[in-house]
Structure 1
Amino acid sequence: MSTVDTNEIVTRLRAAGCVFAEDEARLLTEATDSAEELDRLVAQRVEGVPLEYLLGWVEFRGIRVGVQAGVFVPRQRTAFLVDEAAALARAEGRDEFVVVDLCCGSGALGLALVTELANEVARIELDAADIEPVAVACARENLTSVGGRAHEGDLFAALPSRLRGRIDILLCNTPYVPSGEIARMPPEARDHEPATALDGGEDGLDIFRRVAAEATEWLAPGGHLLVEISEEQATTATSIATEAGLTPAIAHSPDLYATAIICTR
């Protein structure tokens, strides 16, 4: 790879709008075995293909999570859901939990939570589900190391009946971008990630409404549903949760620019 001009790659990436051009150039270089392959990957990145698709992984809470084309790329701010879920589990101080990662994408949330609690909780039963077949295949591979299972289907319909009324922690990164704002999203998300992982309907909360409406049937008594939302959606989301018979609380992370609604049965 001695013939590769790193400065030229950085210049190409920066011209394409890549904010972290130096880091991306390094990662792409490390991911290839030839100058020709590197040039092909750089060309794809310049065209807007997500870096994570080209690398085949994304780092999420210190874990390398496999991703592929057509799978939602977990955002770093969504680690806030894992932080909050881990805090809830620690506060309860139990040695066994049933965890579900709904709208799981790559399975990053469930994987990160189980990894976080691995040395503190004796047993975690982990299931995940998504409507996109490629996401389910990706999640299955990612969750193998922690004994998790991934299921294909629409929200709770994908889950095995054995989980009904038993879920202690329900992580659910529902799509919450209002339909009218999809066109203003960065091209690498808008043009490459599945619409089912982005479009939340007119106010961005359509999928959350569906999840909240069924959550009380699936959560264990005292179980928690954690969902990422925008700060502007907090009031409406709180009303939705209350009407569904859940007790809601809003949490913010200024550092991660993240907002979550935590609903308890």
Structure 2
Amino acid sequence: MPLPLPPATALVPRLRAAGCVFAEEEAGLLLGSATGPQHLESLLSRRIAGEPLETVLGWAGFAGLRVAVAPGVFVPRRRTELLVEEAVRLLRGTPRAVVVDLCCGSGAVGLAVATALAGVQLHAADLDPAAVGCARRNLAAVGGRVHRGDLYAALPAGLLGRVDLLAVNAPYVPTAAIADMPPEARDHEPRAALDGGPDGVAVHRQVAAGARRWLAPGGRLLLETSEDQTPLTLAAVEAGGLAAAAVRDEDRDATVVVGTPPGVA
């Protein structure tokens, strides 16, 4: 007979002492994932050491889905659900829409969009091999194709001028600000997924400069950014030849910049 697991109340003080704000909730999730006392102790030790809860559990809740995540892969944030919502809003009524999830990480954005809109032709790309492996696990069920490479260099040439929506959650934290991030992000997520260069928008400029070539005539570019970086991201998108507008959600501290080709309403 397997040994019984301890009650959640036995885990809470250790989690709270480690600085876990939602210790009760985390205790329940860890208990639900443990196969036995030894496994539970392993999960608990990893969390107490500062590893993100999501990678300890092996999944993150995002847009109503369970998205598989692995150690060393960027964990999707709730604020990024605004990016998904804007994508779904813009794509409604577009049959067989071609969607690219660039800098895809776990593939959470592409998965959520393809789940919400049947028939999407989904491509995702990332430079990091761990992220690509994770995205392939997540996107297999929706028929998504995952490519490894640096930004547009990863994409098939056949997508040039055919992309209805280019969704991008590229890094936008200024290099000097990474030191002030929570340890579970700073110490456990890949720096390349966080570091946006000196002013936070170095990757945004690269994405915006190349977007117009890949977009279909009525296509859109969606770039997640921060409230502080919004003016710089808007300027980058405009410099890439697109009209730019920002969408803001204060409750989630979320901002998305929408880039639209000239002549598109």
What's the TM-score bracket when you normalise by the shorter of the two chains?
over 0.9
Q: How does 1:113-128 map to 2 (within 5 A)?
A: 113-118=113-118, 123-128=119-124
* Contact persistence 2:11–2:27 (CA under 8 A): yes
| Counterpart position of 2:53 | 51
Alpha-carbon separation, structure 2, partners of 1:51 and 1:197: 18
How far did residue 232 of structure 1 move? 1.4
Q: How does 1:182-201 map to 2 (within 5 A)?
A: 182-201=178-197
Residues 17, 209 of structure 1: alpha-carbon distance in 2 compared, 3 angstrom cutoff: same
Deviations 1:4-61 (A, max 9, x none): 1421211111111111111111111111111111112111101101111111111111
Structure 1: unaligned runs, 5 residues or longer? none
Deviations 1:73-114 (A, max 9, x none): 000110000001111112xx2222000000000000000001
For 2:98, the aligned partner's letter is: V
For 1:222, the aligned partner's letter is: G
Match of 2:81 among 79, 85, 92: 79
CA-based RMSD of the aligned residues comes to 1.0
| Counterpart position of 1:69 | 71
Answer yes or no: is 1:139 the counterpart of 2:141.
Answer: no
Identity score, percent: 54
Q: How does 1:4-43 map to 2 (within 5 A)?
A: 4-43=6-45
Match of 1:239 among 235, 247, 264: 235
For 2:35, the aligned partner's letter is: D
**Which secondary structure does the structure 2 equivalent of 1:177 belong to?**
coil
* Contact persistence 2:4–2:36 (CA under 8 A): no
Answer yes or no: is 1:99 the counterpart of 2:99.
Answer: yes
Residues 85, 21 of structure 1: alpha-carbon distance in 2 compared, 3 angstrom cutoff: same
**Which secondary structure does the structure 2 equivalent of 1:211 belong to?**
helix
How far did residue 244 of structure 1 move? 1.1
For 2:181, the aligned partner's letter is: M
Alpha-carbon separation, structure 1, partners of 2:110 and 2:5: 42
| Counterpart position of 1:167 | 163
Output the TM-score relative to the length of structure 1.
Answer: 0.95
| Counterpart position of 1:210 | 206
Alpha-carbon separation, structure 2, partners of 1:149 and 1:226: 20
**Which secondary structure does the structure 1 equivalent of 2:73 belong to?**
coil
Alpha-carbon separation, structure 2, partners of 1:255 and 1:111: 23
Output the TM-score relative to the length of structure 2.
Answer: 0.95
For 1:38, the aligned partner's letter is: L
Alpha-carbon separation, structure 1, partners of 2:95 and 2:152: 25
Deviations 1:169-227 (A, max 9, x none): 10100000000000010111010100110000001000000000000111111211111
Match of 1:227 among 180, 200, 223: 223
How far did residue 155 of structure 1 move? 0.3
How far did residue 3 of structure 1 move? 4.9
**Which secondary structure does the structure 2 equivalent of 1:221 belong to?**
strand
Structure 2: unaligned runs, 5 residues or longer? none
